[in-house]
Structure 1
């Protein structure tokens, strides 16, 4: 699960949620701000009903108001924030169904890509996937969340390139932008599941076990949904729904 950490999402835009973080000035700055805010919304660091103040957000991230405004317009188009006239942007509701749907969609696309990969993968590409999984294992042993996110992204990028499904990979990337990659990258238990699932997926490619390919692909997204749901439950954002 990025990256999700279970996906092909690039960690380059996956910003940490620490308030003191300062974003570098780059042409895609508004995209980085949007990614940062998505991470905070999806982990309830910013809760449904909270206002996102442009000036406060800009100051905290060390940017001008312009990229923050552009980011909020993007998030409004995605339904993550709503605009209250004369009051500003408010974080939209995030339900259990929303979380389930996001991971279901990711899983369905990923399974289709995995089965295409099964039909095309070579011995050399299997070896390449093993190398990426070892890099993930090494990053986890070092406790380096940034490198974990990078290694996870590189594994799934290499995997999805084998399938040659450019449009499907793009849809998967679009879906996984809502996956809070840093939540997973800093969770050692998630890392153990990811490495084990990758290893079993690679072996399934080696022996041509399509059932196991589907099972291990779905496993990563099921695990990701469970972990995010469990985290959100601890924040209390759904207490009034029980």
Structure 2
């Protein structure tokens, strides 16, 4: 059993873990539209029973990532460039509100913490693992979200963020370098209490991420027959 499957086997929310894993594979183009996802094969690969896999696929069906084909099972739903653009448009729209509120609430402790986390990200980006890069960026966003003090909005954003295959970015040295610079822009904006500058940093992050994911999916041949 691999480290990933061993970790899955002992986590309580197993179906959610599987939904995240399969959803990321779909959004990264590893599982292409029209591909059938077999319950038994997936369960065997992950070292789990069929039940949490079925529950995970039901979750993904609700998110529009898979379709249930009668008497055949689950297949990956169509995914267009417009879908990707829409996902990032929603993210950016929500993030604008959150960053504005966060800047209203930031105190000196928050600003110092944000600066520290940005440098932690830079270190992870230059010498860490993909997982450490993902975690470091998550901590930065979490700090902003906590300062915004908008629980329901953060929860909605978290739901939308499930569509983003974060490992694709974390494994890309060019993205890591660009994100390091944008994170530092955000920290500088917080230090200067410049909300407009902070908004520009977030807008640049999401615009760049959208373009990179579309390019990645094009390179993977997801739309070759479109």
TM-score bucket of the superposed structures, by smaller chain: over 0.9
Q: Secondary structure at the match of 1:237?
A: coil
What is the RMSD of the two structures over their aligned residues, measured on CA atoms? 1.4
**1:58-79 deviation per Cα after TM superposition (whole angstroms, max 9, x unaligned):** 0001111000000001111111
Partner Cα distance (1:236, 1:103) in 2: 21
Distance apart, 1:235 and its partner CA: 1.6
Residue 57 of structure 2 aligns with which residue?
Answer: 72
- The structure 1 segments of at least 4 consecutive aligned residues displaced by more than 6 Å after TM superposition are none
Q: Of the candidates 74, 86, 96, which is equivalent to residue 111 of structure 1?
A: 96
Query: Are residues 1:156 and 2:175 paired?
Result: no
Q: Secondary structure at the match of 1:48?
A: coil
Residue 221 of structure 2 aligns with which residue?
Answer: 236
In the TM superposition, 1:36-55 aligns within 5 A as: 36-55=21-40
**1:20-63 deviation per Cα after TM superposition (whole angstroms, max 9, x unaligned):** 95233321000000000001000111110000000000000111
1:20–1:60 contact (8 Å) kept in structure 2 = no
Q: Which has the higher contact order (CA 8 A, sep 6+)?
A: 1
In the TM superposition, 1:76-95 aligns within 5 A as: 76-95=61-80
* TM-score of the two chains, using structure 1 as the length reference: 0.89
Q: Secondary structure at the match of 1:198?
A: helix
Q: Which residues of structure 2 form unaligned runs of 5+?
A: none
Partner Cα distance (2:3, 2:64) in 1: 26
